[in-house]
Structure 1
């Protein structure tokens, strides 16, 4: 799938996601576009995905040290987008436990943080990236993607319009998934204005694409 086609699917999804008679069609599109912003091993599709292009030929040094124009590494981009998908889909949409906590992924990945990483500056991103286990971060992301698809399978049309109460939003802060500091806590207000369809559109799909593009820029920067 080319990026233009992916964007066209996004536009189509946005126009039908709240229509009861288009629910199954909406889900089909969600699975299609969501699979493309994860590794093909997540969904098992026989197609090179946008994320596959990040991992192809990626070495440890580039993963940790190569940065894009925002000072973000591949390690950071994969971490940040995975944590946000995990947090929003499991706490807000499904009201269940984060994949991150269930699988003891902090220890397995070797991360010094549990939150989204929004508060990290350029130097902090590089320090964070030093200790990350590349393969375990990839494995975590695969589990996050699979859980998201399971959650979406069980949604109905009325779910798509459901918004989130303050208890769920507060739980994100209580679990330390988002830090209660200015650089991060704006996410709580941002997500609080959305319903489930809005979370699927952003961050579960489009936000991943934003950071895939950033990761690809970081990966290429050492070759310039």
Structure 2
């Protein structure tokens, strides 16, 4: 994304924020969400007319660039693979456990094995040694496939919602599942508390859209620094 495209994305995200909880604007909100979401994922998810933000990130990127850690950039020292994985994990957890009350893509489509890493939580609360280990060991092709699978599941779930469902909130049992499935570390209760204050609309506006946008921005800064 260039600066003009990021500005347009932000303007549409603000528009979505204003209409997503209104049942009478449900169809427009779903359409706008799908547009915003598609811009952040590989183009084979939605087949847009031009490359997406994720397409641009992956284009001509070196494996050393993807795995490099730490990288001292504004707002983060984390590797590109960590940003890609973390944003996908957060979306998988919030959309599937807290939103749809279904199984995580990580487990239902066996990515916990193919990613070839022992880390299955959201990525919050990791120390430097753990981030370095994750960055070195994660399977890159499986990581790209996992992000695509998470995106496809989210798009299918949101497209099937009915007017009024954006205002629903996750139940205590759904939050128990997050901990039982070790999707969030017990030390990161603040994250569950944050999600607990959100309706499905709120989860869509942050983890499923804005959160991805923020981490793609951070990942792109790493690429630009290492591959000038």
TM-score bracket, shorter-length normalisation? over 0.9
User: Matched residue of 2:113: which SS?
Assistant: helix
Kindly state the Cα deviation for residue 68 of structure 1 after the two structures are TM-superposed. 4.4
Report what 2:194 is aligned to: 190
Report what 2:68 is aligned to: 65
Scaled by the length of structure 1, what TM-score is found? 0.95
Say whether residues 1:56 and 2:62 are aligned partners.
no
Scaled by the length of structure 2, what TM-score is found? 0.93
Gaps of 5+ in 2: none
Structure 1 residues 68, 107: closer, same or farther in 2, change over 3 A? farther
Counterparts of 2:216 and 2:72 in 1: how far apart (Å)? Answer: 11
Q: Deviations over 1:59-117 (max 9, x none)?
A: 21111015243211011000000000000000011011000001111221111200011
Counterparts of 1:7 and 1:174 in 2: how far apart (Å)? Answer: 35
Counterparts of 2:118 and 2:216 in 1: how far apart (Å)? Answer: 23
Assess if the C-alpha contact under 8 Å between 2:22 and 2:164 holds in 1: no
Equivalent pairs counted in the alignment come to 222
Report what 2:12 is aligned to: 9
Q: Deviations over 1:38-75 (max 9, x none)?
A: 11112222221111111011121111015243211011
Instruction: Pick one of 161, 185, 202 that aligns with 2:167.
Output: 161
Task: Identify which range, 110-119 or 214-223, moves more after superposition.
Answer: 214-223
Counterparts of 1:140 and 1:213 in 2: how far apart (Å)? Answer: 20
User: Matched residue of 2:53: which SS?
Assistant: coil
Q: How does 1:1-224 map to 2 (within 5 A)?
A: 2-65=5-68, 67-69=71-73, 70-181=76-187, 184-223=188-227
Assess if the C-alpha contact under 8 Å between 1:68 and 1:214 holds in 2: no
Assess if the C-alpha contact under 8 Å between 1:71 and 1:122 holds in 2: no
User: Matched residue of 1:155: which SS?
Assistant: coil
Structure 1 residues 33, 68: closer, same or farther in 2, change over 3 A? farther
Assess if the C-alpha contact under 8 Å between 1:68 and 1:221 holds in 2: no
Structure 1 residues 68, 204: closer, same or farther in 2, change over 3 A? farther
Counterparts of 2:181 and 2:123 in 1: how far apart (Å)? Answer: 14
